[in-house]
């Protein structure tokens, strides 16, 4: 199905679908908010020539030249959300905002080498030395080279408010998918941009970053519960269709992880490694076998099992039973 250039969500709120240079994830949804303080863009895509062309055409359809974008908010530092934000800032002078918790992973581009610098060790600990070896020596792909990953102009914190005159956006820190992931609420309009924290069909990957935290699943589950404490809203996800309620999907993801945790802990009882447990489980909504996934997805699957076991151990030992959030 061909996507439109822009898709009106509500008064002055538009979805802008942008193609991604990836095999598995084809599109990211950028969002544009019109306001009396100018146009605000959220998650404007992967820095490619095609993104720039499509985004410029979409903004034109909405009646704005690119230099009218005053602020650009990235929900997190993943390349499909952040890199075009930096490129636009460098060309047009918009102000770029990113969660303060993303600083570790952004800094790690300068200090660590390779696409997955910490993951090989984690895979070895999880009983997958061959995959670890592969990931350790994996080169960057062509579309991953030369991306702008400079620091944002402003590091955002939980509860930050954008007063845009006739519109107010509030930022809520929801760590888990990455350490500093933010969701953005427009309460008056009844919408929440959920980034990759809550997606309509995919179960978001957790701790998928250059400098992952020790217990990403604990943070993710806490963040899902924290989402339920915010007013319910229409979910504006980074990938997939704009469909139902944020709360409904947060509850689904909580029960998915409850079931997954029970299943993984059962399989762990006879001393299997996270790798062996991952081999015994179905993956993706198509119920694929681990061996049939590509190496990066295999890595994500095995580390997800390891994250569940780490979380289970932490709750049993009483450490971070309810991981703290401020
Ligand atoms: Zn992401």
- Domains of the chain are 7-316 (3.60.15.10)
For the chain, the 3-state helix, strand and coil shares in percent, each to the nearest 5, are: 40, 20, 40
Q: 13 near 234, Cβ under 8 Å? A: no
Ligand 1 centroid – CA 207 distance (Å)? 10
Selection from 199, 197, 200 nearest residue 208 by Cα: 197
Report the predicted TM-score, pTM, of the whole model to 2 decimal places.
0.92
∠ Cα 71 75 78 (to 5°)? 115
Ligand 1 centroid – CA 102 distance (Å)? 12
Ligand 1 centroid – CA 77 distance (Å)? 7
CA distance 165 to 147: 34
Averaged pLDDT for residues 273-284: 95
Q: 42 near 48, Cβ under 8 Å? A: no
Q: What are phi and psi of 203, to 5 degrees?
A: -85, 115
Residue 286: other Cβ atoms inside 10 A: 7
Output the pLDDT for position 318: 65
Averaged pLDDT for residues 280-295: 93
Ligand 1 centroid – CA 110 distance (Å)? 20
Ligand 1 centroid – CA 43 distance (Å)? 10
Ligand 1 centroid – CA 196 distance (Å)? 5
Output the pLDDT for position 319: 53
pLDDT reading at 94 higher than 90: yes
**Which residues, at least 6 apart from 181, have a Cβ–Cβ distance to it below 8 Å?**
75, 76, 99, 101, 102, 173, 174, 175, 195, 196, 197, 223
Output the pLDDT for position 325: 39
Ligand 1 centroid – CA 79 distance (Å)? 8
Ligand 1 centroid – CA 101 distance (Å)? 14
Output the pLDDT for position 285: 82
CA distance 121 to 133: 9
Ligand 1 centroid – CA 271 distance (Å)? 32
Output the pLDDT for position 316: 86
Ligand 1 centroid – CA 74 distance (Å)? 10
Share of the chain above pLDDT 70, in %: 97
Ligand 1 centroid – CA 317 distance (Å)? 30
Output the pLDDT for position 323: 45
Ligand 1 centroid – CA 208 distance (Å)? 8
Ligand 1 centroid – CA 76 distance (Å)? 7
Ligand 1 centroid – CA 209 distance (Å)? 9
Mean pLDDT of the chain: 93
Ligand 1 centroid – CA 75 distance (Å)? 9
Output the pLDDT for position 322: 47
Going by pLDDT thresholds of 50, 70 and 90, the confidence category of residue 321 is: very low
Ligand 1 centroid – CA 66 distance (Å)? 25
Ligand 1 centroid – CA 270 distance (Å)? 34
**pLDDT tens column, 195-244:** 999 999 889 999 888 888 999 999 999 999 999 999 999 999 999 999 89
Ligand 1 centroid – CA 82 distance (Å)? 10
Averaged pLDDT for residues 3-11: 94
Ligand 1 centroid – CA 202 distance (Å)? 12
Ligand 1 centroid – CA 123 distance (Å)? 20
Ligand 1 centroid – CA 274 distance (Å)? 23
Output the pLDDT for position 66: 93
Ligand 1 centroid – CA 269 distance (Å)? 32
CA atoms within 13 A on the CB side of 50: 11
CA distance 196 to 206: 10
């Amino acid at each position: 199905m061909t996507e439109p250039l822009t898709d009106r969500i509500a008064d002055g709120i538009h979805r802008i679908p942008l193609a991604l240079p990836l095999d598995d994830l084809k599109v990211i949804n950028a969002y544009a908010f019109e306001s009396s303080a100018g146009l605000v863009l959220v998650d404007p895509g992967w820095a490619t020539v095609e993104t720039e062309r499509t985004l410029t055409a979409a903004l034109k359809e909405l009646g704005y030249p690119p230099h009218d974008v005053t602020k650009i908010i990235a929900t997190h530092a993943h390349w499909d959300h952040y890199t075009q934000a930096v490129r636009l800032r460098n060309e047009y002078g918009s102000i770029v905002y990113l969660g303060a918790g993303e600083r570790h992973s952004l800094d790690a581009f300068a200090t660590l080498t390779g696409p997955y610098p910490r993951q090989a060790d984690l895979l070895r600990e999880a009983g997958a030395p061959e995959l670890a070896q592969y990931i350790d020596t994996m080169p960057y792909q062509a579309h991953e080279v030369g991306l702008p990953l400079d620091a944002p102009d402003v590091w955002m914190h939980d509860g930050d408010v954008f007063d845009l005159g006739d519109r107010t956006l509030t930022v809520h820190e929801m760590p888990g998918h990455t350490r500093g992931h933010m969701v953005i609420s427009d309460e008056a309009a009844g919408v929440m941009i959920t980034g990759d924290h809550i997606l309509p069909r995919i179960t978001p990957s957790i701790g998928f970053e250059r400098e992952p935290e020790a217990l990403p699943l604990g943070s993710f589950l806490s963040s899902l519960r924290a989402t339920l404490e915010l007013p319910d809203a229409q979910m504006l996800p980074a990938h997939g269709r704009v469909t139902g309620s944020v709360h409904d999907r947060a509850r689904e993801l909580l029960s998915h992880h409850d079931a997954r945790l029970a299943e993984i802990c059962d399989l762990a009882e006879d001393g299997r490694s996270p790798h062996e447990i991952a081999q015994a489980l179905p993956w993706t909504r198509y119920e694929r076998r681990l061996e049939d996934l590509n190496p990066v997805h295999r890595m994500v699957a095995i580390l997800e099992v390891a994250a569940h076991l780490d979380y289970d151990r932490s709750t049993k030992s009483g450490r971070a039973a309810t991981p703290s959030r401020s």
